[in-house]
Amino acid sequence: MKVCIYGAGAIGGHIAARLIAKTDAIVSIVARGAHLAAIRANGITLRSGGQEIGGHPRAVTDDPASLPPQDIVLVTLKGPSLSAAARPLARLLGETGFAVFLMNGIPWWWNHATDRDGPLELVDPGAAMWREVGPGRALHGVISSSNAVVAPGVIQHYGGNRWMIGEPDGALSPRAQAVVDLFGDAGLQAIVSGDIRADIWRKLFVNISSNPFAALTRLTSQEGAAVPGLDDLCVKAIDEALAVTLAMGCDLRSETCAEDIVRPPGGRGGGRSSMLQDVDAGRALEVEGIVGQVQAFGRTFGVPTPTLDVVLPLLRGLDLALRNAREAAGKQGA
């Protein structure tokens, strides 16, 4: 089985290292920059539970066109990078391959197999993914695993090893089971989801209450607890997302306690959220998938989102500032 990890950062690197070390899959990696150079030279290494696993992929490249068609492509790019990858990804899938999108927020294929069938402009500008790849070749993965790139080619796993794989239409398909079996062979605790949209919402409640506020304040959840009123805003963000979810026909109120998500009974972790890591590194932020599309759904279904209405333009402004800084740095280096 030919498997490509498209974007081997923290999550993609974790998966790649385990697949290489523990399965017979023919693993290729699409990466860039120092990460690419390090993997070419030394392979990829995952540090987890006091052990190191990994090895060399069959191929590592920054040019997907240099790879043969793949059976499975595991897409671990951030949302802002998807549009540019649409055509290369479609070519990489060939005639029979399919893609599993392992990413946060509302995915580009969301409306597929619903009565609102069609692309979402905020998370798929110009319908690039919808047009080039097509939702019929997309599965999705919801991740509960904390990882970071601690050096080029080296991934640190901090905790969590739960992976939910599902079809947009909720079918318990052979291809979803094939991904789960592959992950299981690699030591990844995966199951097939019977309702991937509900699982995406469950993860989004955590993301919408942590990532935006961490990015805007530069504080971890633990540090933010000392700021009067900040936790209250986090709770309101979850409550608004819950109301949107309900209006769209998915009632998760009985199982979701915003207070427990923001102030977990077992205490807060001190790690830096994924969006805060992106701010630290000056990267593009997953604004639309985590916040923008939720607000847009709210407006479509007549649900007020006053907290998100304030947070979203601030987050878009921060994303623009980071983009301007990257462009300025690029001009200085030219």
Tokens of 239: 């409550």
Q: In terms of Cα–Cα distance, which of 166, 273, 149 is closest to 220?
A: 273
* Residue 236 appears among annotated catalytic residues: no
Among 2, 22, 203, 331, the one annotated catalytic: 203
Please state whether beta strands 44-48 and 51-55 pair in parallel, antiparallel, or not at all (unpaired). antiparallel
Is the separation of the CB atoms in 70 and 97 below 8 Å?
yes
Residue-wise DSSP of 44-74: EEEEETTEEEEE--SEEES-GGGSPP-SEEE
- The distance between the two most distant Cα atoms of the chain, rounded to a whole number of Å, is 55
What's the CA angle centered on 136, arms 58 and 301, to 5 degrees?
Answer: 125
Tokens of 140: 């999705």
Tokens of 309: 């209405």
Residue 10 gets which letter from DSSP? H
Tokens of 211: 């990532």
Residue-wise DSSP of 266-319: T----PPPHHHHHHHHTPPP-HIIIIIHHHHHHHHTT---HHHHHHHHHHHHHH
Distances (CA, A) of 83 to 123, 128, 246, 262, 290: 9, 6, 29, 32, 17
Catalytic positions, written as ranges:
203
